[in-house]
Amino acid sequence: MKFTKEEVEHVANLARLELTDEEIKKYQLQLSDILKEIDKILKVDIKEDDILITTTKNSNVYITDNYSELLTKEEVLKNANNKDLDYIIVPEVIE
């Protein structure tokens, strides 16, 4: 498809652009080239099973969790700077 001079002027008018005749010719060619590329893309025959969903062949890759021994409540509270009974007191961040 080729853009006409009138179509380029119409688009320029919608965008509130003032174009010279030289710019109109330049944009006619550029917009026509863009439409040619889009037409190529639209002509590509794709089947549903050929659609690329991911860029890697890996699927359902999981990392194994490595559990270590947990600290007891007493050990955690022993390391706390500010505590009250069984709770660690932290500075207020939201008023």
CA dihedral 54, 46, 36, 31 (to 10 degrees): -40
Cα distances from 2 to residues 26, 45, 65, in angstroms, run 12, 24, 59
Domain that holds residue 25: 5-45
pLDDT digits (tens, 9 = 90+) for 57-93: 777 778 888 888 888 888 889 888 898 888 999 888 8
Q: Structural domain tally of the chain?
A: 1
CB–CB of 1/20 below 8 Å? no
32-45 pLDDT, tens digit per residue, is: 999 999 999 888 87
CATH code assigned at 13: 1.10.20
Rg (CA), the chain: 32
Residue 35 belongs to a domain: yes
Contact 12, 50 (CB under 8 A): no
